[in-house]
Amino acid sequence: MKNKLNCILLVDDDEGTNFFNEIVIDNAGITNHIEITLNGKEAIEYITYSGEDNENATIHPKPVLILLDINMPVMDGWEFLEVFQHLKEKHKGKTIIVILTTSSNPDDRTRAESILEVADFKNKPLSAKTLDEIMEKHFPDYL
């Protein structure tokens, strides 16, 4: 039996995309908890409230993997990353951030590669194959 990720955080303003991603992740059986936020601001609020030192850690677990969209209202993915970089270590932990976007702009990929906190850059839609690639690269101990 494989280990499961504590929590996966989906950060995307498109509810249909979140619904689809949730199905792909559920089918993979890699986590028991998927949290959805609709923009970077909600994601930062979730991250700073979650964690093992929080009395609500079981109902508000710290994400181990964040799938982050770039283009969102309120706070986009780039703004999220700027704020995330300045969070306390207890909030960031060893979280893996994967940008999951429809952008085919090579500048976005280059920008993402220049940000230390971004572990990977993938194009939507999330597929079982893409999720397997993420797991193999970033969570080999969980396979």
Runs of H (alpha helix) within 2-127: 15-28, 40-49, 77-85, 89-92, 106-113
- Lowest pLDDT segment from 26-30, 71-75, 91-95, 115-119: 91-95
Does any domain span residue 44?
A: yes
Does any domain span residue 41?
A: yes
Does any domain span residue 63?
A: yes
Does any domain span residue 17?
A: no
Does any domain span residue 127?
A: no
pLDDT of residue 137: 96
Averaged pLDDT for residues 80-104: 94
Domain that holds residue 57: 1-7+28-104
pLDDT of residue 135: 96
Print burial letters for 35-57: b (CB count within 10 Å at least 16), e (below 16).
bbbbbbbbbbebbbebbeeeeee
pLDDT of residue 54: 52
Does residue 2 carry a pLDDT above 80?
A: no
Does residue 34 carry a pLDDT above 90?
A: yes
pLDDT of residue 32: 87
- Lowest pLDDT segment from 53-62, 72-81, 108-117, 132-141: 53-62
CA distances from 103 to 11, 32, 99, 122 (A): 15, 29, 10, 9
pLDDT of residue 1: 45
Mean confidence (pLDDT) of the chain: 91
Does any domain span residue 79?
A: yes
Does residue 68 carry a pLDDT above 80?
A: yes
Does any domain span residue 59?
A: yes
Domain with 78 in it: what CATH number?
A: 3.40.50.2300
How many domains, in total, are found in the chain? 1
pTM, entire model: 0.92
pLDDT tens-digit readout, 102-131: 998 999 999 999 999 999 999 999 999 999
Rounded Cα distance, 80 and 13, in Å? 13
Does any domain span residue 116?
A: no
